[in-house]
Amino acid sequence: MKSSIRKQGKIRQLGQGMTEYIIIVALVAVAGISTYKLFGQTIRSQLASLGQEVAGQTNTALTQSKSSSTSAATDAHQDKGMGAYNTGNQ
């Protein structure tokens, strides 16, 4: 009787550890997805540029990457108020 109670306690502890691990993995996945969504185009452009550099080709992706980062910086510094969200129902 006592041994079965001890086994159940160990099983519950193992289940708790697995649940904590799954939660941590889910949080890391959400962080990775949100980072990729935020910086995706810039990362793709820079990786394409790196691939072309390694292959010895001309570097047009670097120009695209620079223009994408400049555009993102310009958008980040603009002040946006409620007027920027005009729905056109006037």
Give a yes or no: residue 5 inside a domain: yes
What's the structural domain count of the chain?
1
Give a yes or no: residue 87 inside a domain: no
Tell me which residue range forms the domain holding 1: 1-52
Give a yes or no: residue 33 inside a domain: yes
Output the average pLDDT for the chain. 75
Please tell me the pTM assigned to this model: 0.41
In this predicted model, what pLDDT tens digit does every residue of 35-76 receive, in sequence order? 888 888 888 888 888 888 788 776 666 677 777 777 777 777
**So what's the pLDDT on residue 30?**
94
User: How far, in Å, CA of 28 to CA of 79, rounded?
Assistant: 32
Give a yes or no: residue 72 inside a domain: no
Give a yes or no: residue 42 inside a domain: yes
Give a yes or no: residue 36 inside a domain: yes
User: How far, in Å, CA of 51 to CA of 57, rounded?
Assistant: 9
Tokens of 45: 């452009």
Percent of the chain with pLDDT over 90: 12
Give a yes or no: residue 43 inside a domain: yes
